[in-house]
Every structure is written in structure tokens, then in C-alpha cells.
Amino acid sequence: MQNRASSIEKSRLITRRVFMLAAAKLLLIGGITSRLYSLQISDREKYELLSDKNRIREWKTPPQRGFIVDHFNNILADNDRVFQVHLDLDQIKDFNEVIFKLKNILELSNNELKKIYREKERLKPWDTLVASDNLNWTQFSKLNLYLHELEGVKPVVSSSRFYPYKDSLVHVVGYVGAASQKDIERKDVIKENLVPGLKVGKSGIEYAKETELIGKYGIKRYEVNSSGKRISQIDYIKETQGEKIKLTIDLEVQQLAQELLKGKAGSISAMDIYTGEIIAMASSPTYDPNKFTHGIGHKDWGEIRDDPLKPLVNKSIAGLYSPGSTFKPLVALAALEFGTIDPERPILCKGHKHPYELYGVKYHCWKKKGHGYMRLRNAIKQSCDIYFYEMARLLGVDRLAIIAKRYGLGSNILKDLYFDEKKGVVPNTFWKKNAIGKSWYLGETVINGIGQGYIQTTPLQLCLMTAQIANGGYKIKPHIIQDESINYESVRLKIAKQFVNETADFSNDEKFLVDRDYKLYERLYRNPENIKFIKDAMFGSTNEQYGTSYKSRYDDTKYQFAGKTGTSQVKRITEEERKLDLDQSQIEYKNRDHALFIAFAPYKNPRYSISVLVEHGGSGSSGAAPLASKLIKKIIDRHSLREQIKKGSTSLA
């Protein structure tokens, strides 16, 4: 009986414990359920995202760069189809073996191999290496043939920058190259669009207008497995092309300008004197931007970099030169505006035997025999230095600086586009005290009067100066990217508007004799007669006998232009040298004078201004004026065509 009882008790105990255990089990099941709930219902979105992140991998496709076109819609920067080899580093097992095979298939040079290895060092193990970004068709088809034994090697058809006009526009348009770390840090848009082998602007418009040009990358979405192998393409968002940038440049004028400078070092700039549109901005020597697109070779780069004529410098905006006699019209204008000279006052130029003297220092005229008695108009026309020495002395450097700055010297013009632009120097007494720490000497004023000494200008500044004299003395804004809202008629209208409530008496308007900011299209002169006087004198310089650029004139009024030569000394002429009276060809190249010329055309109703600079080109009248003459003809011949296009696009817009 006792056993019986024990057995029953045992059964009761076990049953009780089973129920306790069941309760515990239910509790644990509850725990599992709540965990399932939190994973699958509360946090579902988080895990869905993680799952998609696992299985979906995106590949960016390179953005299409926007075109750069000229005024006539000629494509200056185009996109070309190129064949490339990409290496997916994470899928390559034996890098050396793959490279060895590639070398044999593509016949790569040792230099190219070195580049690939260097690149590999730089990249992360899951990056894509662009082994070659410009294969020819034979190489590309051969690669495709052997592809099955090259795991991780990807033939890619891509697009790359192509400059059909090669070296004609490199200083304007710029060039592209592989995006560097600096580029990536510089612009978010580059970081965002970064794909293996991305090319970005390195100079010029390509650099300045990166944001507009770069476009938007495309996305190819693939489903991948855990080892990263692509299973299927889910999605393809096509890349988009960047904006088209339209320049004010006229390709044909630019090409001619570049052609005229061939074999020389120098610059030619031309602009519309009302709209400020830059029609040509040539710099020589030049180079082919296409070489940079796929990474320039050591030899080519060395040649460009070490060329003593400095092809990399955009001389139109980054070359600083003494303006020489091209500065004289502005000196004369300043003297007239401030009334420090009577234009009818004669000054005698007696030649080298009797130079101008100041405090015992002698200042010579360029003309050995002297000009004789000169009045202001003649002094400009024949570029008599003695006259300008005296006029500058009477005017004073500070007053001269006010006018020089007003007409565009000493300040940036296209800095927002060309980071390498230089400002130059328009000296005055305050400037010298600050920059050099010494007081101003009167002798410095004297040589400043003929555009020598401290004064430093860029050719584009001289072009702007000429434009603002030629248009009657109104402030304009030079630009190289087309602005449809600016045209000849609208500018003329804006110029005219400021006179609506003004009296016709300009004689004593002191407002125009102080240094201040001028609004766009505001008049820059005190008395319009002064501007007229200068323009007339420049007409004489080109179109009258004894004028310094008489030989380059056109008699046809359609082409007739007014200009001013300049010959700027690179080196001070010593007494001995003066006595030797060497011809320019007998002097060492680097010591020869720079030849300059500024002009506006046509003389009646002028529309364009031009500045020419030929480094060490000798005298302005023989080294620069003939080039300007040729280019002016081209510009005027194309004038009506240019206007048509402009009107066409305006009416379209």
C-alpha cells in the first residue's frame, strides 16, 4: 500500500512539475514571439533596407560632359566614344597574372605597366582601376576575344572629351584630366559624380564651369550574391549630359588670331566694344588639350612645361607687360580731363643729342633725330616720348592712376572664370609707399607717361581700355560666356538712358575727376570732347602719313581702323647701347622689345577693339600692327553674320 501511495504521489509530483515547466515554456515562447515581432514588424523597414543593401549593388556610370560651343554653335569641346579596360580589383585573384596577360594581349609598354602598378597602390582593394582609357579598336576587339580567361577585367565603352580644334582654344576652353584628390575636395559635384576614370576640368572654362558641365552620373543597379557576383540587372538610370556652355568666341577669328601668332610668343584679344563680348582671346605658343585627356606622357609634358616661351601661361590674362606707348592715349585723356595740358601747346623734341632732362637725369625719345615741335594730336600720332614726359610731369602720377584704373587697367576682368588671371599694377604714390616702402620720384612719373616703369597690364586689359575709349567712354563688362540679354541695341539704349535728365554741360563735373566705382554703361569721361580728341588722334596714328601704324591702314572705310602702337622695353637701355644703335634683330631674343598694338574698328561707328602683343617682337608698328590689321578685316567681314546669329538666338529665346 505504501508503494501504491508513493507511486501516486510520484505521479502527482511529476504532473505538477510538468505544468510548471509548461508555464515556463509558454513564457519562453512568448519571448521568442516578441522577438519575432520586434524584428519582423517593428524594425522591418530597417532590416528590409539592410537586406537591399546586401543584395543590391550600384555601379555609377560616368556623366556626360556638356558641350562648349562658340558663338556660331561650333562645338569646341566634344565627347568622343572611347574604349577602356577597367579592372575590378576585388574580383581579381592574381593581379600579376592578369596584368601579364593584359600586357601580351594589348601590347602595353613598360611605362603603362608602371602606371598601372602605381595606380593600384593608390586604390583601395575594392576599387576599379582604369588600366587603359583609350584603346584602339584592334586592341579592344582582341581583349573581348580573350575575356574568358581574364576574370575581373571589364571592357568598357565610355565617352571622353575631345577638342576638334586642338590647340586653337586651349587657353580659353581649358582641358580635362583625371579627377585628383584636390578636385574631389574642391567641388561636391565632383565627389558626387565620382566614378573610376572620371575626367574633370583642369583649366579654363572646363575648370570654372565644372558644376554646369559635369552632368549627372547614371546608375546601374544589380542584384549580387554574397561574393559580389552580379546575378541580374534591376535598374538602369541613364546618365545625363551637362549643360551646354556657349561662348562669345568666334572660332574663325580665334583660329586666325592663333595662326597669326604662330611661331611667336604673344597674345591677341578682341572684343565687342558695346556688349563686352570677347570674340577672340589667343595666346601663343599653345598646345593640344587632347593630350591631357588620357593622361599626358612624361615627354610631352616636359616639352610643354619647359618651353621657354611658356605655352602654359594664358598671356592674354596672365601675362603682365609694360603697355609702352599704347598707354599714351590714356595719359593724354587724363591730362585733357584734368585740364593739365593745352592740346595746342607745342613742345620741342630735339632727338638724342638733346634729351628731356629732369633733376639731371636724361630721358630720350625713341626717335633718334627727334620729332621737332609737336602738339598733342601729333604727339599721339607719331608717339613722341618727349611730349609725354612733359605731359606726365604736369599731370602727376596720382591723377593718371585715377583715369587708368577707370578704363580697366590694374583690375581683374575674368577672374571668376580664369583663376590664373593677373591684375597688373597701376602705380601711384600711395601704391609705392605700400608695396615698396619708398616715396615716389618724379622721374618715375615721367617714364610712366610713356607706359614704362612700374605699370603692368595684361593684353586683355589694354583691349578693354581701347574698347571703353572707342565706345565713347562708357563702362562695359567683358565676358566670354554668352549672355543673350546683352546686345548692341540694348547697350546703346542703356547708355542713352543716363542722359535723359542731364544738362549738356560737362565742363565742370568734378564727379568725374575722383576715383570711384562706376556702374555698368555709366559714362567714364568728364567731357566727351576729350574722348573724341583721343579717338581722332588714334585715327591719325593709323591713317595719316607719319602715323606710327600708317603702313597697316585700310583705305576702305568699312575696314578703316584707328590704333596706337607700343614698343615696350624689356630692359633699360644703357648709354653704350644707345650709341651702338642696334637693330632689334641684332639684340638677343630675350632682350628685344615687346611689340604692342591697340586698335578699334571700324573708325566710323566702331564696334570692335583689339589688342595685340608679341613678346620680343620688336617695334609695335612692324611687329604687332600688321597682325591686328589682318584680324580686323576678318572680324569686320564676319560682323553681319555675327549679328544675324545673335538676333536669331535672341528672337528664339
CB nearer to another protein: pick between 40 and 411: 40
Contacts of 90 (CB under 8 A, 6+ apart): 125, 126, 152, 228
In this structure, how many other beta carbons lie within 10 angstroms of the beta carbon of residue 561? 29
Stretch that binds another protein, among 15-23, 103-111, 278-286, 395-403 (CB under 8 A): 15-23
DSSP state for residue 333 in the 8-state scheme: H
Report if residue 30 touches another protein, rule: CB under 8 A: no
Q: How far is the CB of 2 from another protein (least distance, A)?
A: 9
28 is an interface residue for another protein by CB under 8 A: yes
Q: Does 27 bind another protein (CB under 8 A)?
A: no
Q: Which is nearer to another protein, 39 or 520 (CB)?
A: 39
- Would you state the cell numbers that stand for residue 54, as one nine-digit string? 546586401
From residue 113, alpha-carbon distances to 98, 118, 132, 516 in Å are: 12, 9, 10, 60
- Please say whether the beta carbons of 283 and 458 come within 8 A: no
Taking the complex as a whole, the smallest distance from the CB of residue 127 to another protein amounts, in Å, to 18
Q: Which stretch binds another protein (CB under 8 A): 50-58, 153-161, 213-221, 525-533?
A: 50-58
Q: Which stretch binds another protein (CB under 8 A): 27-35, 134-142, 311-319, 617-625?
A: 27-35
Q: How far is the CB of 36 from another protein (least distance, A)?
A: 5
Instruction: List the interface residues with another protein, window 228-257 (CB under 8 A).
Output: 231
- Look up residue 335 and give its three cell numbers: 591730362
x/- binding map, residues 55-74, to another protein, per CB under 8 A? Answer: x-------------------
Can residue 653 be called a binding residue for another protein (CB under 8 A)? Answer: no
Nearer CB in complex with another protein: 29/520: 29
253 burial (CB, 10 Å; 0-12 / 13-18 / 19+) is buried
What kind and span of H or E run contains 98? helix 95-106
- Find where cell 609634358 sits: 301
Point out which span in 31-39, 212-220, 272-280, 574-582 binds another protein (CB under 8 A). 31-39
Region from 46-54, 91-99, 265-273, 550-558 binding another protein, contact rule CB under 8 A: 46-54
Residues of this chain, 546-585, that bind another protein according to CB under 8 A: none
Nearest to 70 by CA among 460, 486, 652, 642: 642
**Per-residue three-class SS string for 303-318:** HHHHCCCCCCCCHHHH
Rounded to a whole number of angstroms, the minimum distance from the CB of residue 225 to another protein is 4
- Which neighbouring-strand residues pair with 129? 87
* 294/112 Cα distance (integer angstroms): 12
Nearest distance in Å: CB 19, another protein: 9
Given the complex with another protein, which of 34 and 111 has the nearer CB atom?
34
Find the binder of another protein among 9, 90, 151, 483 (CB under 8 A): 9
Q: How many CB atoms lie within 10 A of CB 196?
A: 22
Interface residue with another protein, options 23, 43, 117, 342 (CB under 8 A): 43
Residue 32: CB minimum distance to another protein, A: 5
**Smaller CB distance to another protein: residue 41 or 652?**
41
CB of 53 vs another protein, minimal distance in Å: 9
Residue of 413, 390, 400 whose CA lies nearest to 330: 400
Compute the least distance from the CB of residue 115 to another protein, in Å: 32
Q: Examine residue 22 and tell whether it contacts another protein (CB under 8 A).
A: yes
User: Which CB, 32 or 157, lies closer to another protein?
Assistant: 32
Q: Which of 96, 110, 226, 501 binds another protein (CB under 8 A)?
A: 226
141 sits near another protein (criterion: CB under 8 A): no
Write the CA distances from 87 to 130, 200, 327, integer angstroms: 6, 21, 59
d(CA 350, CA 450): 17
* CB-nearer residue toward another protein: 10 or 362: 10
Q: Is 530 helix (H, G, I), strand (E, B) or coil?
A: helix
- Report the residue from 23, 36, 496, 641 that binds another protein according to the rule CB under 8 A: 36
Q: Which of 23, 51, 477, 589 binds another protein (CB under 8 A)?
A: 51
Q: Residue 5 or 157: which CB sits closer to another protein?
A: 5
Q: For strands 68-69 and 245-246, give the pairing.
A: parallel
Nearer to another protein, 9 or 300 (CB): 9
Report the site for another protein in 586-645 (rule: CB under 8 A).
none
633-644 as b/e: b if 16+ CB within 10 A? bbbbebbeebee
- Among residues 96, 110, 181, 227, which is the contact residue for another protein, using CB under 8 A? 227
Name, in order, each residue with C-beta under 8 angstroms of 520's C-beta and a sequence gap of 6 or more.
475, 476, 477, 494
CB of 18 to another protein, least distance (A): 5
Q: Does 29 bind another protein (CB under 8 A)?
A: yes
Residue 45 falls in which region: left (phi positive, over 0), alpha (psi -120 to 50) or beta: alpha
Answer yes or no whether residue 18 interacts with another protein by CB under 8 A.
yes
Q: Is 477 in the site for another protein (CB under 8 A)?
A: no
Q: CB within 8 A of 553, min separation 6: which ones?
A: 542, 543, 547, 560, 561, 629
Binding segment for another protein (CB under 8 A), chosen from 39-47, 134-142, 150-158, 622-630, is: 39-47
Q: Tell me whether residue 91 is exposed, middle or buried, using C-beta atoms within 10 angstroms of its C-beta: 0 to 12, 13 to 18, 19 or more.
A: middle
Cβ proximity to another protein: between 30 and 339 the closer is: 30
| Shortest Cβ 58–another protein spacing (Å) | 16
The one-letter amino acid at 106? L
| Residue 10 near another protein by CB under 8 A | yes
Nearest residue to 318 (alpha-carbon basis) of 468, 461, 479, 467: 461
Count of residues binding another protein (CB under 8 A)? 41
Label the pairing between strands 608-614 and 594-601: antiparallel
Look-up: residue for cell 572620371? 198
- Please, which residue, 230 or 362, has the CB nearer to another protein? 230
Q: In the sheet where 56-61 sits, what is the strand order?
A: 56-61, 218-224, 230-237
Q: What gap in Å lies between CA 215 and CA 66, rounded to an integer?
A: 7
CA distance to 238, 364, 371, 386, per residue, from 349 (Å): 74, 9, 5, 6
How many Cβ atoms sit within 10 Å of the Cβ of residue 139? 18
- Pick the closer one to another protein by CB: 230 or 368: 230
Cell of 107: 601590347
Residues that bind another protein (CB under 8 A): 3, 6-7, 9-11, 13-15, 17-18, 21-22, 25, 28-29, 31-33, 35-37, 39-41, 43-44, 46-48, 50-52, 54-55, 223-227, 231
